[in-house]
């Protein structure tokens, strides 16, 4: 299974254009790292062509109800994408976090997860999906600057997975060598990802269960954000 992560800076372009030319380009990229799922940050609004299919309710901090919305987008009735989206940023819809899966996922086999950092600072949750026997795939956008909530978010996902394989992709807002997770591996990009005008920071990467420490490949062909996407083979 392959996973990519991209902070798409969703408020900086026409949202529909960025989805059609950016997200779709990642889904259609050629080669051995073509992603089966993409972890998205700053995803902006849902594209107008998406269709809401379902809603999953969770309890957020303080017990308040929060929701993950599931959409179909692109393709046809047989090949539509499934988009899992968390509307955390109710004021501006700019910093929404989501995961999109390449293929049609039957709803009766789709699990959705939402987790906040268990300890320390917290702001945005990790949102994820799991289909059948595949690994849990979560997307995170850690606090800027410094990514203080990144360890707590990853630890929350690890606990939630209950021994099943998992991966967390995202914009961690801190270098990959600044934290570690027991029984997991932090996988850096093979070169800096931010800012695209003069990349100096490796903020976009993957943390996963197991011992695979191969670096991710920065997708430098896609320049529609202030972050480059990164692709990984799990």
Instruction: State the pLDDT at residue 93.
Output: 52
* For residue 13, pLDDT beyond 60: no
Domain range for 50? 2-233
For residue 112, give the CATH number of its domain.
Answer: 3.60.10.10
- 13 burial via Cβ count (<10 Å: 0-12, 13-18, 19+): middle
Instruction: State the pLDDT at residue 11.
Output: 60
Mean pLDDT across the chain: 88
Read off the pTM. Answer: 0.94
- Which of 71-80, 109-118, 166-175 is most confident? 166-175
Q: Output 42 or 92, whichever has higher pLDDT.
A: 42
End-to-end Cα, the chain, rounded Å: 6
101 DSSP assignment: E
CA dihedral 70, 76, 79, 85 (to 10 degrees): -20
Lowest-confidence segment of 18-22, 43-47, 107-111, 175-179 by average pLDDT: 107-111
Domain count along the chain: 1
User: Computed over its alpha carbons, how large is the radius of gyration of the chain?
Assistant: 16
């Amino acid at each position: 299974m392959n996973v990519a992560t991209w902070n798409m800076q969703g408020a900086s372009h026409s949202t529909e254009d960025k989805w059609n030319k950016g997200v779709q380009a990642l889904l259609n990229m050629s080669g051995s790292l073509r992603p089966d799922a993409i972890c998205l940050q700053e995803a902006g609004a849902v594209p107008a062509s998406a269709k809401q299919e379902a809603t999953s309710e969770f309890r957020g901090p303080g017990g308040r109800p929060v929701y993950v919305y599931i959409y179909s987008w692109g393709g046809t009735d047989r090949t539509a994408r499934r988009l899992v989206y968390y509307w955390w940023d109710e004021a501006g819809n700019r910093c929404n976090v989501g995961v999109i899966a390449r293929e049609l996922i039957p709803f009766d086999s789709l699990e959705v997860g939402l987790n906040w950092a268990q300890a320390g600072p917290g702001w945005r949750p990790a949102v994820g999906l799991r289909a059948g026997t595949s690994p849990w795939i979560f997307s995170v956008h850690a606090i800027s600057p410094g990514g203080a909530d990144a360890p707590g978010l990853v630890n929350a996902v690890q606990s939630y997975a209950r021994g099943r394989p998992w991966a967390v992709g995202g914009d961690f807002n801190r270098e990959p060598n600044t934290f570690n997770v027991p029984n997991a591996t932090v996988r850096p990009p093979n070169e800096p990802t931010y800012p695209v005008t003069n990349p100096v920071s490796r903020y976009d990467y993957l943390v996963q269960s197991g011992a695979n420490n191969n670096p991710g490949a920065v997708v430098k062909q896609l320049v529609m954000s202030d972050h480059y996407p990164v692709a990984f083979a799990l």
